[in-house]
Amino acid sequence: MMNHVNSTLRRIAPQLVILAGVLLLNFLVFPDFFRIEFQHGRLFGNLIDVLNRGAPTALLCIGMTLVIATRGIDLSVGAVMAIAGAVAAALVVDGHSWQVALLGALCAGALCGAWNGVLVAVLRIQPIVATLVLMVAGRGIAQLVTEGTILTFVNPGLVHLGSGTVVGIPTPILIWLGLGLIVTAVVRKTALGMLIEAIGINESSSRLAGINSRVLIISVYLISGFCAALAGVIVAADIKGADANNAGLWLELDAILAVVIGGNSLLGGRFSIIASLLGALIIQSVNSVILLSGMPPEFNLVIKALIIIAILVIQSPTVKHALYILRASADPLPPGSIKEAKESPQ
């Protein structure tokens, strides 16, 4: 057990270090960053904002990690968010309860995911193309549901999912933490995770070994659609309205980035959902730096790009290897003499 915890820690160590670094950056631009207060019945503070605002990306990257582990990719999640938000809003506006609306939205998301899965697993269309179909068409479907307007609603139950709190903690935080834990437990406490990794590493041989790859691939896309639907409901509930044009726009790219920052390979195989979730938090912390720094908005994308390039460079295999060599050559020396070790080759 202890061994298992240790190996997980070792796996997510780079992400933890980067997250700490970005949070420190937040602290430097805004010294009150770590202050959390309890006011008006809810936790209030920048750190809470990062956890809360990171919810959509975090939810998306849970499903995305599994899809990428099978060597696939799901570009449609942003559009599925828009569809799910639209369905939920349309149902409550129609007079249904929030439970029905949530269920309807989740079913719509799962259906979208299953559609992607069938295109990839049964029709053998390349994932990037197969999911592109829904990425483009999905927003149109969402607009049909909302009839092109921002469909607003007041249903308190549904609104609670986006901007409410449970014992002072914003609901979206609990939702993504909960789903993340459940999915991690399911794939790691059963053989499921290993089977998914096997498909990503070599689908043919995994099939020969008796893995039903078709069903598993459809399942991971279905889970991705489900996660996207949940994210879509949260985003719609947050603003009390379904904005088919903008909900989840470009968020699929943030989700993929979170998975990559989480150290997962786009070529499939071994994956870590926890590392991806840390990746999502890193992205949100970067957004937070930009907002808190008070820099003119023209700099937003440049700052984000610079920080992310830095993160990816640190993680690149070549740099990792160089660091490893550096450490290995430093090893025989007594601790504290790393500096000399660096200079020794010259």
Partner 1 sequence: MKFKAMLIAGAMSFVPMTAMAADLTIGFSQIGSESGWRAAETTVTKQEAEKRGINLKFADAQQKQENQIKAIRSFVAQGVDAILLAPVVATGWDNVLEEARDAEIPVILLDRTVDAPDDLYMTAVTSDLVHEGRVAGQWLVDETAGAKCDIVELQGTTGSSPAIDRKTGFEEAIAGHDNLTIVRSQTGDFTRSQGKVVMESFLKAVGGENICALYAHNDDMAVGAIQAIKEAGLKPGEDIKIVSIDSVPDIHLAMANGEANATIELTPNMAGPALDALEAYLADGTTPPKWIQTESKLYTLNDDNMAIYEMKKDLGY
Site residues, partner 1 (CB under 8 A)? 30, 32, 39-40, 42, 44-46, 49, 53, 143, 147-150, 152, 163, 235, 238-241, 243, 245-247, 288, 291-292, 294, 296-298, 300
Nearer to partner 1, 23 or 220 (CB): 23
Which residues have a Cβ under 8 Å from the Cβ of 255 and sit 6 or more positions away?
57, 60, 61, 64, 77, 280
Least Å distance between CB 243 and partner 1? Answer: 6
Nearer to partner 1, 96 or 240 (CB): 240
Distance from C-alpha of 155 to C-alpha of 115, rounded to nearest angstrom = 30
DSSP conformation letters of 140-177: HHHHHHHTTS-EE---HHHHHHHH-EETTEEHHHHHHH
Report helix, strand or coil for 212. coil
Nearer to partner 1, 167 or 267 (CB): 167
Nearer to partner 1, 247 or 286 (CB): 247
Least Å distance between CB 239 and partner 1? Answer: 4
Write down the residue that tokens 């996660």 correspond to. 227
Alpha carbon distances (Å) from 334 to 323, 331, 338: 18, 8, 8
Number of H helices, E strands in the chain: 16, 6
Least Å distance between CB 55 and partner 1? Answer: 12
Least Å distance between CB 23 and partner 1? Answer: 15
Nearer to partner 1, 210 or 296 (CB): 296
Distance from C-alpha of 141 to C-alpha of 145, rounded to nearest angstrom = 6
Least Å distance between CB 232 and partner 1? Answer: 11
Cβ neighbours, 10 Å, residue 276: 31
